[in-house]
């Protein structure tokens, strides 16, 4: 039997790593583990027993990747976003959770499906649920043709041409479709668009580099 699963999608948090970790600590989310994200499809395995090294040591040595899977109780794992798609995954019975960061590059590489495969094949998950956090909506995510060109066939229904060489891309819709294709029956869709709500969430499209980050966390108690 696994433990109770806790999920958390933040609103605006500071850009500075130490300030952000201390803000999460003040909210009761500690210890917490995040990654040095690269917009790729690397999945980090964090197996029990894991000893939290402390905030300063974690900041200095965060592993590179865009998804983390763990079976460690008493630890929150998370990803950072400011328009990209945060995905939280869990199997309460198996006692395994994961957090994935799906930008358009990670979406094209199906980081969601790769994370699920590791949860099943290496951690024994059988009944996985998913929740997608606040991220940019299709209306706000306009791109050139380089983004549609690299998307998998499952994405075609979520891409709309709006003018020659310009498209809108529904990243949360694509990721939800990839999750369902991987066998996840219950997928909770985003509660809000980051770009539509810049007063609540940081948005790279709206705030550019003058912004902080959201953090999406999941843990096993």
pLDDT by residue (tens digit) across 159-202? 999 999 999 999 999 999 999 999 998 999 999 999 999 999 99
pLDDT at position 1, please? 55
Quote the longest CA-to-CA distance of the chain.
54
Domain 5-220: CATH class, spelled out = alpha beta
Domain ranges of the chain: 5-220
pLDDT at position 108, please? 98
d(CA 10, CA 194): 11
**Residues 6 or more apart whose Cβ sits within 8 Å of residue 110:** 41, 152, 178
Average pLDDT on 16-35 reads 94
Pairing verdict, β 76-81 and 214-220? antiparallel
pLDDT by residue (tens digit) across 42-72? 999 999 888 888 888 888 889 999 999 999 9
**Secondary structure class of 144 (helix, strand, coil):** coil
Q: What's the pTM?
A: 0.96
Structure-block tokens of residue 220: 């096993």
Cα dist. 56→17, 100, 178 in Å? 9, 23, 36
From the list 116, 125, 106, 133, the residue with the least C-alpha distance to 10 is 133
Residue 135 is given by DSSP the state B
**Residues 6 or more apart whose Cβ sits within 8 Å of residue 208:** none
């Amino acid at each position: 039997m696994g433990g109770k699963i806790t999920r958390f999608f933040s609103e605006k948090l500071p850009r500075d790593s130490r300030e952000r970790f201390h803000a999460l600590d003040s909210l009761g989310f500690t210890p917490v583990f995040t990654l040095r994200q690269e917009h790729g499809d690397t999945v980090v395995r964090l197996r029990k027993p894991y000893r939290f090294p402390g905030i300063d040591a974690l900041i200095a040595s965060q592993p590179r990747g865009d998804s983390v899977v763990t079976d460690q109780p008493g630890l929150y794992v998370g990803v950072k976003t400011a328009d990209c798609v945060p995905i939280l995954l869990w199997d309460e019975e198996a006692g395994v959770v994961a957090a994935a960061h799906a930008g358009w590059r990670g979406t094209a590489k199906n980081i969601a499906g790769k994370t699920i495969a590791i949860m099943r094949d290496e951690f024994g998950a059988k009944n996985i649920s998913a929740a997608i956090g606040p991220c940019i909506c299709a209306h706000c995510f306009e791109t050139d043709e380089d983004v549609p060109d690299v998307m998998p066939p499952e994405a075609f229904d979520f891409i709309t041409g709006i003018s020659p060489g310009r498209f809108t891309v529904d990243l949360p819709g694509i990721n939800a479709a990839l999750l369902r294709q991987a066998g996840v029956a219950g997928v909770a869709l985003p509660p809000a668009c980051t770009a539509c709500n810049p007063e609540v969430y940081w948005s790279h499209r709206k705030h550019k580099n003058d912004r902080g980050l959201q953090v999406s966390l999941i843990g096993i108690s």
